[in-house]
Amino acid sequence: MMFNNVLSLDEIKKEPFVIENIRWDLEPKDLMEPRQKITGEGVQTRDTIKGYVFYIDTMAERPILFLMRHTAADYAETLAQIDEIPQELLAEAVEENKAKAYFGMYPVNKKVEAWLKKELGVL
C-alpha cells in the first residue's frame, strides 16, 4: 500500500489494515536502531520491525503527532499527521518521555495512546 500524501485522522479511520497493524509497543528509537550490532558475543541481529508507529515530533513550533509506516526492509515514511489531538496531551507526553527523546521525536504515552484508540475504535 503506497500513499502519495500525508493522511488525516479521518482517512486513517478508513484504513482497517493500518489500524490492525499499529505497533503500540514501539518507540521512535526502536525504529532507528541498527539492524546489526557487534557485541562481545558476536554479531546480533535485531528482530524485523514492520507496521505503523505513532510518534510526537518537536521540530516545529509545537509538538505534532505523526504516524509512520515501517517495512520489514527498513523503509519508513510518514503516513499521517494527526491535528485533532489536544495540544495539552502532546505536551504532557513530551514532558513525561523527555528521557526517551530521539532526534526530536518522542514516543506517545498512555494518555495519547488511549485517545488514539478511542478515536480509531480500537479495543
Number of domains observed in the structure of the chain: 1
Whether residue 75 is contained in a domain is answered as: yes
pTM for the structure as a whole: 0.84
Whether residue 42 is contained in a domain is answered as: no
Residue in the structure block whose three cell numbers are 526502536: 30
Are 65 and 82 contacting, i.e. CB atoms less than 8 angstroms apart? yes
Whether residue 57 is contained in a domain is answered as: yes
Whether residue 16 is contained in a domain is answered as: yes
Output the CA angle 67-77-83, nearest 5 degrees: 30
Are 75 and 52 contacting, i.e. CB atoms less than 8 angstroms apart? no
- Domain of residue 100: give its range: 9-30+47-120
For 72-98, how does the pLDDT look when each residue is reduced to its tens digit (9 = 90+)?
777 788 999 999 999 999 999 999 999
Question: Given pLDDT bands bounded at 50, 70 and 90, which one contains residue 54?
Answer: very high
Torsion angle of the four alpha carbons 53, 56, 58, 60, in this order, in degrees rounded to the nearest 10: 80
